[in-house]
A and B are shown apart, each in its own frame.
Chain A
Amino acid sequence: MEPQARILKVLKRVTGKEIEPGTDESLFVSGLLDSFALTDFVTGLEEEFGVTIPDSDLSARKFDTIRKVEVYLASKA
């Protein structure tokens, strides 16, 4: 499965919604994520991709869109 599809899988699990946001659509502006949900999203990404995301990286800017999440995760690989 491609990284974007895996990110979307985590997002669907966290939000509990069958959603198909655009790659560059803001997950916060669209209301899919908020500060509380982001922590679950990040934990889900850690489990899905087998990476550790430090607390210092917890920023809405880094996880605002699926593309940004993909770029971030690629930097952790």
Chain B
Amino acid sequence: MTFLRAFGSWLPPRSVSNEEIAPLVNATPEWILEVSGIRERRYADETDTVAGIGLLAARDCLRKGGATAADLGMILVASGSSERFCPGPACEIAAGLGLSSTPALDIPVSSAGSLIGLILASEVAPRFGLVLVVGTEIMSRRVVLNPEGKNSAILFGDGAGAALVDAESGFARITDSCLYTDGASSEILSVQNGQFHMDGPAVIMQAARKIPRAINELLARNEIVASDVEAFLLHQANLNLITRVAASVKAPAERFFTNIGKYGNTSSASLLIAADEWRGEHASVSGPLVFSAFGSGLNWGALLAVPC
């Protein structure tokens, strides 16, 4: 049995509005808002690193969870934008926490990486103990703000989120999950040679089917109706996609927490940033929580947690 114990996050202070980037991509602020639901996003400072901002989210999470780095049995770090491929940011975050022997593993998957981390953590926590999951991204360096890149460059922001998965106690018990990979469509969403590539319409079509399917699978298997779910916490990819998922699973749209309007799409960090913000607004949990994400790979899935 495993539990969600705490979330944490860190976002760069620099806010970048649609008005600032619209002229660079030959678009209007209104168009950006209409196609994405994004009003502004955060950009990291040039001195920030993927591991560095991940470390800040990790510390925030440990503080909120009443834990210390010495309590950790494993660290899992998801990122699709790390400056160095191998070794990735996990070992740097572990070192930043003062740890010299705790296993720290990378999950180099954008967008869905932190969901993969949560699911893996729920499986390994009984053996390794307290697991810290971090999603950290500086995607603003992987896109080009020009007219050719406008369909993807407008979406992304930078930030980091974190979660503690505990084998002994927490505010919600992880009861089920599902995780899938379909490599046949890997070319529609990738980071290659330092640049983000996306076939937007193809990604939307895939995500709009796969995310509801994963959520419905978990709900059906656990005999939970969508309207009884307290909160759906999704990768914040696109507000229109989240609205579409809500309609597909026949749940009230207001149950789908969103903060994409102010942070943009922070890729693998977004699920945990959203979870941290939602948790900050809900001291107590009274109903099931559903987490879901879709991203490069293609990887997608969902995780179910219920109040303790």
Q: Which residues of A contact B (CB under 8 A)?
A: 34-36, 38-39, 42-43, 55-56, 58-60
Contacts and interface: CB of A to CB of B under 8 A. Distances in A.
Contacts of A34: 201
Contact of A36 (B182, B202, B204, B206): B204
Contact of B208 (A36, A56, A59): A36
Closest 4 interchain pairs by CB? A35-B204, A35-B201, A39-B208, A58-B205
B250 interface: no
A34 B241 CA distance: 12
A55 B211 CA distance: 12
B280 interface: no
Contacts of B208: 35-36, 39
Contacts of A59: 202, 205
Contacts, number: 35
Contacts of B184: 56
Nearest to A59: B202
B182 A55 contact: yes
Contacts of B204: 35-36
A75 B241 CA distance: 30
A55 B206 contact: yes
A55 B209 contact: yes
A34 B240 CA distance: 12
Nearest to B298: A55
Given A35-B200, A35-B205, A56-B184, 5 more contacts: A35-B202, A38-B205, A56-B185, A58-B205, A60-B205
A58 B206 contact: yes
Contacts of A58: 202, 205-206, 209
A34 B208 CA distance: 12
